[in-house]
Structure 1
Amino acid sequence: MSEMAGHLIHPVILCGGSGTRLWPASRESMPKQFTPLVNADSSTFQETARRLTDTSVFSRPAILTSSDARFIVAEQLAGARIAADIILEPERRDSAAAVAVATLHAARRDPQAVVLILAADHVIGDTDGFVQAAKDAAAGARAGCIMTLGIKPTSPATGYGYIHVGTAVEGAPGSHHIERFVEKPDVAGAERLIAEGALWNSGYFLFRADVMLAELEAHVPEILRATRAALDGAVTDLDFIRLDAAAFGAAPKTSIDYAVMERTARAGVLPVSFPWSDVGTWDAVWEVLPHDANGNALRGRVETIDTHGSLIHSEGDHITAVVGLDDVVVVTTPDAVLVTSKSRSGQVKDLVTQLRGKAHPEADAHRRMYRPWGWYQRIDIGERFQVKRIMVTPGGRLSLQKHFHRAEHWVVVKGTAEVTLNESVVLVHENEAIYLPIGSMHRLTNPGKIPLELIEVQVGGYTGEDDIIRVEDIYGR
């Protein structure tokens, strides 16, 4: 390894969360880190990855995500023109297991690699300030501390943990040992902590791989043992590193804060003051968006009268109109509407739990569902029929499959479809259609260089997604 490579920071982006507090825009099928909530043309995940493109500071990043999100991650990285290692978690085991995998992965390249752990869903208003902070905190990491970035508070926020700053770290200007962590306080407690000079706990960590591995071994050896076995048993699936499911599932489920940071004697912090938000609630989204003269943050087709200090977020072609309301959040999507006060927007997570308890599919599934080959969107559904709009990316190919309970009609509206129907392969052009009888073996491929769009009409006794018998699938589903 070259001397320069040995001084690079190894960034790891954790993006396995579901972001239920930002329902209905964020759902299990497309969590908040992948949606353009703040920037109209890019997700917070893409913006996070773009902050790591200075190759004089950062090495090739690694991404830890769920298997279900793997193709969304790959597509958004390609859209941002960023190459990365994508590691797939078979299930959610919280951040301690994720950090252990990230550390082991980096240590295989360099046992003393400085690892930077980042969340995929944070908004940072100063990329240069963030990069400089990472470089400064890396000095504390190389000195043997497990560093975090402590944000200087701008308000008595009750949604963040706080850090009491201790003595200076020798050999790392600006860095301090952490005196203690403080759980999320009430408003009076937050005001007191700020007066005492406490910082927000950002959840960013920098450390030497060997230091973190030693702390994991000392405090949660069962997590280290399980994740090491999961990485040892990992297989390469297309461009992904798929962890061994049985081994990873044996890791206890806990956060890195509880597992290590609140127990280690090596915790350090670098105070920073760049604009930062974890955009964890709609109230927080309102704070980071630009406001009009009435203090409103408006997205999409929106009209207001006598409305102030509110967030109105409208997706799709419809218009959302609000009259005479202050300090509210109104979010409309093609299949769901949310109305809440800003002050109560944190309770949206409880609402999603309630929706799941009543088996509402909108709790987790968007009307537009993303797949490795593109996406589909339900247009209409009724007794014995369903209509979908389907988009297949250039080179995309659906699985070779059949259905026991429905027939399908495909009408091409853009591009050219290559359709396998039993033993034949035919090309279907714009304004042409093909009929797929019940039980027929079929597959759809886009052989062209532009997106393929078609309308699918399903007719039969059952049109659920589980009436798919896959015979062959290039995506390993």
Structure 2
Amino acid sequence: MINLILCGGSGTRLWPLSRKYLPKQFVKIFDGESLFQKTVKRNMHLCDELFIISGENQYFLAVDQLEELDILKNKKVRFFLESEGRNTAPAIALSCFDMDPQETVLVCPSDHIVSDLDIYEQAVARAAELAEEENLVTFGISPSYPETGYGYIQAKGEDVRAFKEKPDAATAQKYLKSGDYLWNSGMFCFKSSTILKAMAKHSKDIFEASENAYNNRSIIGENQFKIKKKDMQSIPAESIDYAVMERTDNVKVVYGEFGWNDVGSFKSLFDLSEKDIVNNAVLNLQTEKVLKPVVINARDNLIINNKRQIAVIGEDNLVVVDTDDALLIANKSESQKVKEIVNQLKERGSELAEIHKTVIRPWGSYAILEEGPLYKIKKITVKAGKRLSLQKHFHRNEHWVVVSGTAKVTLDDEVFLLRQNESTFIKMGAEHRLENPGNIELVIIESQVGEYTGEDDIVRIEDDFKRNE
């Protein structure tokens, strides 16, 4: 069985904790692990292989976190990089084209929590049995309250009668009272041939466009492929539920009584967290030098702690999220409106909607230490043996100072080494590259000065990670 893990999505409902370049599934806030890592660990002994679908920007996050779990040495892992997300139906189709037709596939979002692993394993085993009988299997969760944010499955035993879109409050209450409806978890199990056959029948346009895109794919490494952007854009964007599951009659449901939560809101995060005696929940983004919040006459709050001291007096039902560059304070009942904040930030052209102060890159990371209208100062960390792209900028000059390690610098036609406390100047328009030829991390301070210091002022000429394609 192959575990197909869906890593798309930007997680805007948990901003500022989650952002485009570090979405919620990769944020390490659950016992020092991310939701993605928990998903991998939950399924790795149930499946022979991992197949990960991600955006190009999330691929390197996934690789880093798999390396932390020591997975890549012991388990076959395939990657499909989406140049543009087109929802779950194209993602699943494109992945299944890359599999043996008789392979059983367990499809899981990367950002869910499962608390009862024994019952989960029993549910997966039953789903695999049903999939072997040429069924398309979904996992339904018995609703504990009238949730309006989930789709529903109307079921009788293991037979699916209907799929229902996200209901209004009155309809959700009716579903709960009837006892015939389950939350749609977004998890599936089927044979690769079964889902492709159903898609060819019920969503021929998606099937044919996906098949054409797959046949035109770029092989960018061992067990790794990417679909060209123009080919992705030619595929109709649709969910697997609407494209196939709602239109076919060989659908079964397995009841998932395994403590499932999609962690889709701060309320969900609060519900999952341990509470103190007055029902406050505290989560820490830092693992060292944690400053415990001071809370006086306040209860039922979710506090996500970072580096600063947080104090709350006389307030209940708040969400307080402190990050390096943004602070969210919201009433818990209104916290779903955080998407509106993200939209407003995008309208302003703010990078806060997309990146954190520290940004993970395939070669290492950078942290923004200071920035203003005409300058930006970064701490850049390059992994041993890695190098940045050969690139140039049109709107800024750069000055590099080595803090630790040895830097190999390409500057137009020159190649030279810089050691601790040595520096160089990169003139606007010059072709340049930073490389770490050593066995320890390279750390430099980069000072940018210019009319524009945005991350999109990068022209990549050569790139080891094929980001210029």
Q: Do they superpose with TM above 0.5?
A: yes
* CA distance, structure 1, for counterparts of residue 377 and residue 456 of structure 2: 16
1:261 equivalent in structure 2: 245
Summarize the Cα distance change of 1:293–1:430 in structure 2 as closer, same or farther, 3 Å threshold: farther
SS of match in other structure, 2:299: coil
1:322 pairs, out of 304, 307, 312, with: 312
* CA distance, structure 2, for counterparts of residue 255 and residue 190 of structure 1: 21
Aligned length: 454
1:4 equivalent in structure 2: none
Name the stretch that deviates more: 300-309 or 219-228.
300-309
SS of match in other structure, 2:403: strand
* CA distance, structure 2, for counterparts of residue 460 and residue 354 of structure 1: 26
* CA distance, structure 2, for counterparts of residue 441 and residue 113 of structure 1: 47
RMSD: 2.0
Provide structure 1 residue ranges, at least 5 long, that are not aligned to the other structure: 1-8, 168-175
Is 2:89–2:238's contact at 8 Å kept on the other side of the alignment? yes
Name the stretch that deviates more: 278-287 or 375-384.
375-384
Is 1:230–1:245's contact at 8 Å kept on the other side of the alignment? no
Q: Any residues of structure 2 matched to 1:83-232 within 5 Å, and which? A: 83=72, 84-106=77-99, 109=100, 111-167=101-157, 176-197=158-179, 198-232=181-215
2:296 equivalent in structure 1: 305
1:70 equivalent in structure 2: 59
Summarize the Cα distance change of 1:357–1:196 in structure 2 as closer, same or farther, 3 Å threshold: same
Q: Tell me how far 1:188 sits from its aligned partner.
A: 4.5
* CA distance, structure 2, for counterparts of residue 463 and residue 359 of structure 1: 13
Q: Tell me how far 1:261 sits from its aligned partner.
A: 1.3
Summarize the Cα distance change of 1:427–1:339 in structure 2 as closer, same or farther, 3 Å threshold: same
Give aligned-pair identity as a percent: 41
2:68 equivalent in structure 1: 79
* CA distance, structure 1, for counterparts of residue 428 and residue 11 of structure 2: 39
Q: Any residues of structure 2 matched to 1:357-372 within 5 Å, and which? A: 357-372=347-362
Q: Tell me how far 1:257 sits from its aligned partner.
A: 1.1
* CA distance, structure 2, for counterparts of residue 376 and residue 33 of structure 1: 20
Q: Which amino acid aligns with 1:222?
A: D
1:24 equivalent in structure 2: 16
SS of match in other structure, 2:294: strand
Q: Tell me how far 1:126 sits from its aligned partner.
A: 2.4
Is 2:44–2:50's contact at 8 Å kept on the other side of the alignment? no
* CA distance, structure 1, for counterparts of residue 357 and residue 363 of structure 2: 17
Q: Tell me how far 1:333 sits from its aligned partner.
A: 1.3
Summarize the Cα distance change of 1:150–1:463 in structure 2 as closer, same or farther, 3 Å threshold: closer
Q: Any residues of structure 2 matched to 1:382-401 within 5 Å, and which? A: 382-401=372-391
Summarize the Cα distance change of 1:359–1:463 in structure 2 as closer, same or farther, 3 Å threshold: closer
Structure 1 residues 205-244: Cα deviation after superposition (integer angstroms, max 9, x where no partner): 1112222122111110010101111111112113431123
Query: Does structure 1 residue 274 correspond to structure 2 residue 238?
Result: no
2:274 equivalent in structure 1: 290
SS of match in other structure, 2:275: coil
Structure 1 residues 21-61: Cα deviation after superposition (integer angstroms, max 9, x where no partner): 11111111211111123x1422111111112221xx41211
SS of match in other structure, 2:43: coil
Query: Does structure 1 residue 10 correspond to structure 2 residue 34?
Result: no
Q: Which amino acid aligns with 2:95?
A: A
Q: Tell me how far 1:284 sits from its aligned partner.
A: 0.6
Q: Which amino acid aligns with 2:41?
A: R
TM-score, normalising length: structure 1: 0.90
SS of match in other structure, 1:410: strand
* CA distance, structure 2, for counterparts of residue 350 and residue 95 of structure 1: 24
Name the stretch that deviates more: 63-72 or 224-233.
63-72
1:348 equivalent in structure 2: 338
Is 1:229–1:244's contact at 8 Å kept on the other side of the alignment? no
Q: Tell me how far 1:187 sits from its aligned partner.
A: 4.3
Query: Does structure 1 residue 50 correspond to structure 2 residue 41?
Result: yes
Structure 1 residues 96-151: Cα deviation after superposition (integer angstroms, max 9, x where no partner): 11121222222xx2x22211111010011123332221111111111222111111
1:247 equivalent in structure 2: 231
* CA distance, structure 1, for counterparts of residue 430 and residue 171 of structure 2: 66
Is 1:413–1:455's contact at 8 Å kept on the other side of the alignment? yes
Runs of at least 4 residues of structure 1 off by over 6 A?
none
Structure 1 residues 271-326: Cα deviation after superposition (integer angstroms, max 9, x where no partner): 121111000011111111111112111123433222211111133x2222222111
Q: Tell me how far 1:165 sits from its aligned partner.
A: 1.8
SS of match in other structure, 2:19: coil
SS of match in other structure, 1:224: helix
Q: Which amino acid aligns with 1:254?
A: E
1:6 equivalent in structure 2: none
Q: Which amino acid aligns with 1:401?
A: Q
* CA distance, structure 1, for counterparts of residue 320 and residue 374 of structure 2: 34
Q: Tell me how far 1:186 sits from its aligned partner.
A: 4.0
* CA distance, structure 1, for counterparts of residue 451 and residue 193 of structure 2: 59
SS of match in other structure, 2:131: helix
1:5 equivalent in structure 2: none
Summarize the Cα distance change of 1:358–1:410 in structure 2 as closer, same or farther, 3 Å threshold: closer
SS of match in other structure, 2:16: coil
Structure 1 residues 375-427: Cα deviation after superposition (integer angstroms, max 9, x where no partner): 11221123432211111112220122334443322222232222233444333
1:335 equivalent in structure 2: 325
Provide structure 2 residue ranges, at least 5 long, that are not aligned to the other structure: 285-290
Q: Which amino acid aligns with 2:8?
A: G
SS of match in other structure, 1:92: coil
Summarize the Cα distance change of 1:324–1:420 in structure 2 as closer, same or farther, 3 Å threshold: same
Is 1:217–1:224's contact at 8 Å kept on the other side of the alignment? yes
Q: Which amino acid aligns with 2:55?
A: S
Summarize the Cα distance change of 1:464–1:155 in structure 2 as closer, same or farther, 3 Å threshold: closer
* CA distance, structure 2, for counterparts of residue 161 and residue 471 of structure 1: 45
Name the stretch that deviates more: 272-281 or 455-464.
455-464
Q: Any residues of structure 2 matched to 1:410-429 within 5 Å, and which? A: 410-429=400-419
